[in-house]
Structure 1
Amino acid sequence: MKENHLSELKILKEIAELLNQGTDLQSILSEVLKKLLSVTGLQTGWIFLIDHAGGFELTARENLPPALSERNYAPMCSGDCWCINKYNKGRLDKATNIIECKRIEDAIEKGLGDTCGLTHHATVPLKVGNEKFGLLNVGSPYKTRFNHEELALLESVALQIGSALKRITLTQREQEIALTTERNRLARDLHDSVNQLLFSLSLTARGGIEMTKDTDVKETFGYIQDLAQEALNEMRALIWQLRPKGLEKGIVSALCSYGEMLGLKVNVVVNGVIHLPSTIEETLWRIGQEAFANCKKHSGESSVHLSIHAVENRISLKIKDSGCGFQYDEKKELPSLGLKSMKDRTEALGGSFQIQSETDKGTKIQVTIPF
């Protein structure tokens, strides 16, 4: 009994050391899973990270049978299963024996390949306090049940993983705050130095125009004034990108203020009120910013329609203009880097990006992001 206790402590110590080595989730969880299987004698394991909307990601896996590994682990990356369903319904709070694995059953039914005798697995929620992050699943060929000691060990490991995930989340949040602070500092520096110099240059050129009677000199000063004003406008837009005024009051306020700065009339419709995570709010801001800039440059219109709809666990942003539009074929690549950037930002958060446009019929962009 004492030897078992010492062995468990050694396992927990080794796993704790692995979890404290960095902040890259995938590599850390893969190493921890490999170590756990090695020291316990279990053969197969996988970790699902699950977001607040119930969406899951296969973040780590070890020795999955061919039936679950085919097509780049497709059977593990989509569809539902009993452990995730229980987790999402709040009915999975501790290490549990799962009678049978639904993914294995589905693989057998579809004839996806060899299951290597894997039929059952234990599942353990990854959590710290009341905050949950996902599931740890482990199993071995022909093993149909885990005893209390095994489940207790798995629960201890899962608690360690949950604590590490919390630490990594806080570290990432601190990095985001540091990045925002640096952006704000840079925006202040640009406003106090370069912005003021360009403004002074524009005023000096204007004074030169009024002081001279020489036509060529007037034209030269006029050209300098135009260039200074153009550079000043670009600088103001850059400062907006670094430090969006009004974002602290919410995404709607920030986008309306930015539209006004561009000279656009923003018609707003908002349904639902919700506090958004900072990453989603900033993503919506960047997408709206790009869409408004495109409207100003290309649509030929001076107004734009902004719609934000929040319902249950997702937010939808729609931006539409009635301008010249363009011929868009959804089967082809997006025609500009700006549109590609919007799509990439959306999909990075698990959202969907849609664009509709026809010549002389305007353009509509719709983004939906879960949270």
Structure 2
Amino acid sequence: MVLDEHSNVILLKEIAELLNEETDMDRMLEGAIWKLLNGSNFETAWIFFIDEKGKHKLVAQANLPEALKANGCRHLQKGGCWCVKRYHDGDLKKASNIIACQRIENARTTKTGDSGGITHHATVPLQSGTEKFGLLNIAAPERTGFSADELALLESVAFQIGSAIKRIVLTKQEQELALVKERNRLARDLHDSVNQLLFSVTLTARGGSEMSAEPEVQETFRDIQHLTQEALNEMRALIWQLRPKGLESGLLEAIKGYAEMLGLTTEVKVTGVIQLPSRAEETLFRIAQEALNNIRKHAGVNKVELFMSVTSSDVLLVIKDEGRGFLLDERLYIPSIGIQSMRERAQAEGGTVDWSSEIGKGTEILVRIPY
């Protein structure tokens, strides 16, 4: 028993060192559960993150049997189970043996692969103080339950992981806040310097055109004024992209405000209650910015239709114009259209961007983001 306690102390120390050094969430979780398996009698582990709605997401796994790994870990990814429900209801507060696991049973009965002798598992909440993040589950072949000492070890590891998750979340929030501050500083600098200089050039060119009696000189000044006004519009759009003013009043108001700044009128239709996480709002706003920029530059129209549908799990934003349209070869990357940028932003949030367009019949962009 003394040797086991000593081994556990060494294991907890090694896990703590890994958690303290790692700054990437995925690598931290994977590394921690692999160390746990290598230093204990547990042989299989997986971690769920669970949101406030009770929706779970598999974020890490180690040494899963084929039955649980099959089809992209389908049995762990989909459906409900007793431990996730108990966690969401607030009834799961410490490491516990689960008598019957619906996910394991489904994997065994559908015969999608060898279950490796896994029939039961233990589970423990991942939390830091009163803030909860999800569940750590462990299992071993031919084990229907784990001892009090093993559950105590599991709780200790879960406590360490929960604290590390909180640290990484806080660090990420601080980085995002610093990024917002830097964007705001750049936006202010551009507004106070370059923007004002361009405005001054516009006024000077107009004055030069009015003061000169030579048609050629007047035409040159008018060209300068026109080009400078275009640069001024581009600069204002860039400032908006750096600092999306209006999001504090809601996503649609921000999109409408940006469209108005570009000289576009919008017709808006909404279904569902719009109450989105800030990350999803900014992603949708940035994609809408790109789409509106494309409409102003390429569509040849000044009217845009916006449709937004919000469900309990995702939001659909449709941006439609009846302009020139375009033909897109999926094999080509076309930076001027900005489709790749919109796609990458959506994919970063687990979402998708689809579009349909036809020459002379306009373009429709469909953005779907889960939340």
Q: How does 1:55-94 map to 2 (within 5 A)?
A: 55-69=55-69, 73-75=72-74, 78-80=77-79, 82=81, 83-84=83-84, 86-88=86-88, 91-94=91-94
Contact in 1 for aligned 2:76/2:103 (Cα 8 Å): no
**Partner Cα distance (1:326, 1:200) in 2:** 37
d(CA) in 1 for partners of 2:247, 2:78:
37
Matched, 1:286 2:286: yes
| Corresponding residue of 2:198 | 198
- In the TM superposition, what is the alpha-carbon distance from 1:357 to its structure 2 partner? 3.4
1:320 aligns with 2:320: yes
**Matched letter for residue 355 of structure 2:** I
Tell me the matched-pair count. Answer: 368
CA contact (8 A) 1:328 1:358 kept: no
C-alpha distance in 2 between matches for 1:293 and 1:86:
48
1:120 Cα offset (Å): 2.0
CA distance in 1: counterparts of 2:131 and 2:369, whole angstroms = 21
User: How does 1:290-301 map onto structure 2 within 5 Å?
Assistant: 290-301=290-301
Shift of 1:258: 0.7
Shift of the alpha carbon at 1:343?
A: 2.6
Task: Report what 1:15 is aligned to.
Answer: 15
In 2 relative to 1, CA 96–358 (structure 1 residues): closer, same or farther, beyond 3 Å? Answer: farther
The equivalent residue for 2:351 is: 351
> RMSD in angstroms over aligned alpha carbons?
2.8
Partners in 2 of 1:195 and 1:81 — Cα distance? 55
More displaced 10-residue stretch of structure 1: 45-54 or 300-309: 45-54
User: What are the ranges of 5 or more consecutive residues in structure 1 without an aligned counterpart?
Assistant: none
| SS of equivalent residue, structure 1 residue 269 | strand
Q: CA deviation at 1:79?
A: 2.5
Q: Indicate the residue corresponding to 2:253 in structure 1.
A: 253
Q: CA deviation at 1:324?
A: 3.6
Using the TM superposition, give the Cα deviation of residue 56 of structure 1 relative to its aligned residue in structure 2, in angstroms: 4.2
Distance verdict in 2 for CA 1:370–1:132, change over 3 Å: farther
State whether residues 47 and 135 of structure 1, in contact with CA within 8 Å, keep that contact through their aligned partners in structure 2. Answer: yes
1:255–1:285: 8 Å Cα contact kept in structure 2? Answer: yes
Aligned partner of 1:95 in structure 2 is 95
Query: Helix, strand or coil for the counterpart of 1:20?
Result: helix
Q: Residues 172 and 76 (structure 1 numbering): CA distance in 2 closer, same or farther, change over 3 Å?
A: farther
Matches within 5 A, 1:1-371: 7-52=7-52, 54-69=54-69, 73-75=72-74, 78-80=77-79, 82=81, 83-84=83-84, 86-88=86-88, 91-326=91-326, 332=330, 336-337=334-335, 338-371=338-371
What is the deviation of 1:122? 1.2
Mean alpha-carbon deviation: is it higher for 300-309 or for 334-343? 334-343
Letter of the 1:180 counterpart: V
How far does the alpha carbon of each residue in 1:322-344 deviate from its partner, in whole angstroms, 9 at most, with x for none?
A: 33434579xx5687442232232
Q: Which moved more, 1:41-50 or 1:251-260?
A: 41-50
In structure 1, C-alpha distance between the alignment counterparts of 2:52 and 2:314, rounded to whole Å = 10
Measured after TM superposition, the shift of residue 46 of structure 1 is: 2.0
CA distance in 2, matches of 1:335, 1:258: 26
Moved more, 318-327 or 260-269: 318-327
CA deviation profile, 1:119-162 (whole Å, cap 9, x unmatched):
22212221234433222121122112112222222122212211
- Of residues 42-51 and 335-344 in structure 1, the stretch that sits farther from structure 2 once superposed is 335-344
Distance in 2 of aligned mates of 1:130 and 1:296 = 49
Cα distance change of structure 1 residues 318 and 48 upon mapping to structure 2, 3 Å threshold: same
**Which residue identity lines up with residue 77 of structure 2 in the other structure?**
S
1:58/1:76 contact within 8 Å kept: no
What is the CA-CA distance between 1:282 and the residue it aligns to?
A: 0.8
Give me the whole-angstrom Cα distance separating, in 2, the residues matched to 1:116 and 1:352: 36
1:52: how far off? 4.3
Q: State the distance in 2 between where 1:67 and 1:269 align.
A: 46
Note the alpha carbon deviations across 1:43-81, whole angstroms, 9 max, x for none.
22222333445554433322223343456x444663335
8 A contact 1:99–1:120 mirrored in 2: yes
Q: Secondary structure at the match of 2:28?
A: helix
What percent identity do the matched residue pairs reach? 55
Equivalents in 1 of 2:311, 2:116: separation in Å? 44
Partner letter of residue 248 of structure 1? E
| Secondary structure class of the residue paired with 2:114 | coil
